[in-house]
């Protein structure tokens, strides 16, 4: 052991149990090798092996056909019935196998209803062996498959629904392939458990001998040496089955044959309007929007209900979420699969088992020539045969977008589609989407927490907070005239403050008099005013004296926060590096032409600090 490394007991503990597990197998192999009486000639050995192989395989088939749907439903349900059922199906794991056999007697024993119905053939028969094995080994598959289904991202299922796939199709084409590994591991355990089951089998079907029952009989009748052959066979089978299960079955998909591209027929824009009132847990979303332009953005902080709103529009929250209109059609009663609403989820819109081309062709009714069009249009040519893990973040988002477009949607919903991307990639994609909006006239609802993105990609804007709209209307208007300091902060406008008009061209901002170019506001009127940080001049002969509250070097610019009288804080940004320290006096100038003033839509008492002080700090 290297010096300086603490001696750890872990390798010793691990080594001890590994030895305990390995030594008996080693000893058996040695004994098998040197023995000249292994018991291969004993009567009944190979028939019992056949019984075990046959019954375990039929058991597994039964468990798979019935247990996989059960596991899927359990993974997707959260009710009381599901949790009770979840415990019940695990009971055979906790119960001694012998007792499981005894329990089964109450169901399939010769004197029960079922037993009589089948003339007693459910016991003391291969059928009995299968029934006993199924009972004890089913939980291994159900528990494994349930965990695998539970780890399938719900948004993958949601996106598939918006692409027109029914519940059964989503199960078959999304849940099963994504959960396949976990299901296979469960199948392996279930088969091995069924093959090796002794306790339950011996109660239900002592005859015909299965391999474990045969082996025990040999052991108790003729002693250890005659168990060499059946044990060796069992070991061989176990090794073979584990080996077989490691063979990857997923065939590589054939290379995509991309046909000649043809653009989709232009469809008239379908403007969206809604009147939603919906609860999830303790959260309530209550928002209305009258159809306006084609491009709507929902801007709000994390947790404000943006994704929930989008899910309501897609139909993923059920019909009771409220009214949704698309063009002149009310669609709240239309199933998700039939809404023709494209949906790019906040994360995870891509299927790990599908290539790019398969994604594009995944929507119900997708046509190859239109898929080829979007493939080229979104710069994905040459990537058709790649899987999502072989794509960059930006390419993945393009695939998500192309996939939604291939369903020829009447409305496209985008949930923070660019949020995880590097700034340059993000800007590229934003511009791409803007061109798409312009060229296709497609109606979009974009969810974002980035004001710049909202400004770039929307005509109408809803500023959302805690499930309600703080302000809505044409984006230009909302950006130019935020209704409150809170909205201004969400719009990323720093230096927004309240003031009172002192006289023509002069406002009183918390005791600091500022010259402004404002017309049409009378004396004593409450106003909001703001100035962009890059318009604030920091200079030795500045008229306003304050104290430097903060200074940060942002690489290409320096950002300062200057506290004026009554703690009126002004953020300034300059390209020059400044040799100033926090706490030092600092002079600034606010050019009148750079100050925007507008009537305060929600004036507080004339002397109060703006927005309770909340607008005084930069976002």
Q: Contact positions toward ligand ADP, by CB under 6 A?
A: 280-281, 283, 300, 302-308
Nearer to ligand ADP, 304 or 430 (CB): 304
Assess 430 for contact with Mg ion (CB under 5 A).
Answer: no
**Residues touching Mg ion: how many (CB under 5 A)?**
2
Nearer to Mg ion, 256 or 345 (CB): 345
- Which token pair is 7? 């001696």
What's the rounded Cα separation, in Å, for the pair 378 and 80? 46
Min CB(77)–ligand ADP separation in Å: 14
3-state secondary structure 250-308: CCCCCCCCCCCCCCCCCCCCCCEEEEEEEEECCEEEEEEECCCCCEEEEECCCCCCHHH
Of 566, 574, 594, nearest to 498 by C-alpha is 566
Neighbours of 354 (CB within 10 A): 21
> Taking CB positions, which residue lies at the least distance from Mg ion?
307
Nearer to ligand ADP, 212 or 300 (CB): 300
Min CB(279)–ligand ADP separation in Å: 9
> Taking CB positions, which residue lies at the least distance from ligand ADP?
281
Interface region with Mg ion, contact rule CB under 5 A, candidates 183-191, 234-242, 304-312, 593-601: 304-312
Express the helix, strand and coil content of the chain in percent, nearest 5 each: 45, 20, 35
Say how many Å lie between the first and final Cα of the chain, rounded.
55
Min CB(499)–ligand ADP separation in Å: 32
311 phi/psi in degrees, rounded to 5: -65, -35
Nearer to Mg ion, 38 or 426 (CB): 426
Min CB(280)–ligand ADP separation in Å: 4
Interface region with Mg ion, contact rule CB under 5 A, candidates 259-267, 307-315, 469-477, 552-560: 307-315
Min CB(428)–ligand ADP separation in Å: 24
Neighbours of 517 (CB within 10 A): 12
- Which token pair is 374? 């979007």
556 binds, among ligand ADP, Mg ion, none (CB under 5 to 8 A by kind): none
- Residue 384 is classified by DSSP as T
**H/E run at residue 310:** helix 306-314
Nearer to ligand ADP, 115 or 467 (CB): 467
Min CB(512)–ligand ADP separation in Å: 37
Min CB(332)–Mg ion separation in Å: 21
Nearer to ligand ADP, 159 or 229 (CB): 159
Min CB(304)–ligand ADP separation in Å: 4
Could you tell me which residues come within 8 angstroms of residue 15 by beta carbon, excluding any fewer than 6 positions away? none
220 binds, among ligand ADP, Mg ion, none (CB under 5 to 8 A by kind): none
CA gyration radius, the chain: 35
Among residues 48, 226, 304, 307, which is the contact residue for Mg ion, using CB under 5 A? 307
Min CB(309)–ligand ADP separation in Å: 7
Nearer to Mg ion, 307 or 471 (CB): 307
Nearer to ligand ADP, 287 or 399 (CB): 287
Nearer to ligand ADP, 278 or 295 (CB): 278
Phi-psi region of 441 (alpha: psi -120 to 50; beta: other; left: phi over 0): left
Of 238, 212, 188, 223, nearest to 60 by C-alpha is 188
| Interface map 325-354 toward Mg ion (x if CB under 5 A) | ---------------------x--------
What's the rounded Cα separation, in Å, for the pair 196 and 173? 34
What's the rounded Cα separation, in Å, for the pair 464 and 298? 7
Residues that bind Mg ion (CB under 5 A): 307, 346
């Amino acid at each position: 052991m290297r010096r300086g490394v603490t001696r750890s007991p872990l390798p010793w503990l691990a080594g001890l149990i590994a030895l305990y597990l390995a030594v008996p197998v080693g000893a058996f192999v040695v004994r098998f090798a040197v023995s000249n009486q292994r018991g291969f000639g004993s009567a009944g050995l190979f028939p019992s092996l056949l019984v075990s192989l046959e019954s375990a395989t039929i058991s597994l088939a039964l468990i798979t056909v019935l247990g996989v749907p059960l596991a899927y439903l359990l993974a997707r349900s959260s009710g009381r019935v599901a949790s009770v059922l979840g415990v019940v199906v695990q009971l055979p794991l906790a119960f001694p196998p012998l007792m499981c056999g005894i329990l089964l007697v109450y169901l399939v024993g010769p004197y029960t209803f079922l037993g009589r119905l089948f003339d007693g053939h459910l016991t003391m028969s291969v059928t009995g062996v299968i029934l006993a094995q199924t009972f004890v080994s089913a939980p291994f598959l159900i528990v494994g498959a349930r965990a695998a289904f539970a780890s399938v991202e719900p948004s993958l299922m949601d996106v598939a629904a918006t692409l027109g796939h029914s519940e059964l199709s989503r199960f078959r084409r999304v849940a099963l392939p994504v959960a396949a590994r976990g299901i296979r591991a469960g199948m392996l355990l279930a088969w091995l458990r069924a093959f090796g089951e002794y306790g339950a089998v011996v109660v239900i079907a002592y005859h015909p001998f299965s391999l474990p029952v045969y082996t025990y009989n040999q052991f108790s009748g003729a002693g250890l040496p005659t168990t060499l052959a059946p044990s060796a066979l069992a070991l061989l089978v176990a090794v073979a089955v584990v080996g077989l299960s490691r063979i990857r079955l997923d065939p590589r998909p054939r290379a995509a044959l991309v046909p000649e591209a043809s653009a989709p027929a232009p469809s008239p824009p379908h403007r969206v309007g809604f009147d939603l009132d919906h609860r999830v847990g303790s959260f309530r979303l209550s928002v209305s929007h009258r159809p306006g332009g084609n491009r709507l953005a929902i801007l709000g902080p994390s947790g404000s209900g943006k994704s929930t709103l989008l899910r309501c529009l897609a139909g993923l929250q059920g019909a009771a979420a409220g009214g949704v209109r698309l063009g002149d059609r009310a669609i709240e009663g239309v199933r998700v699969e039939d809404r023709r609403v494209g949906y790019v989820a906040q994360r995870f819109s891509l299927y790990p088992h599908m290539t790019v081309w398969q994604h594009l062709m995944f929507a119900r009714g997708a046509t190859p020539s239109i898929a080829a069009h979007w493939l080229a249009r979104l710069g994905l040519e040459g990537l058709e045969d790649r899987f999502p893990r072989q794509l960059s973040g930006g390419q993945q988002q393009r695939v998500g977008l192309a996939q939604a477009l291939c369903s020829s949607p009447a409305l496209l919903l985008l949930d923070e589609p660019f949020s995880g991307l590097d700034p340059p990639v993000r800007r590229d994609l934003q511009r791409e989407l803007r061109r798409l909006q312009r060229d296709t006239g497609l109606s979009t609802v974009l969810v974002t927490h980035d004001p710049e993105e909202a400004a770039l990609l929307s005509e109408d804007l809803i500023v959302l907070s805690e499930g309600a709209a703080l302000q809505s209307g044409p984006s230009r208007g909302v950006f130019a005239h935020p209704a409150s300091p809170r909205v201004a902060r969400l719009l990323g406008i720093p230096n927004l403050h309240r003031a009172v008009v002192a006289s023509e061209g002069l406002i009183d901002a918390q005791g600091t008099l500022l010259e402004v170019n404002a017309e049409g506001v009378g004396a004593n009127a409450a106003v909001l005013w703001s100035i962009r940080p890059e318009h604030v001049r920091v200079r030795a002969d500045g008229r306003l004296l304050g104290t430097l509250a903060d200074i940060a070097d942002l690489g290409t610019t320096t950002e300062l926060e200057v506290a004026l009288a009554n703690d009126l804080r002004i953020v300034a940004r300059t390209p020059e590096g400044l040799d100033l320290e926090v706490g030092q006096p600092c002079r600034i100038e606010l050019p009148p032409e750079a100050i925007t003033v507008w009537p305060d839509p929600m004036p507080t008492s004339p002397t109060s600090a703006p927005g309770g002080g909340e607008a005084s700090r930069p976002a």
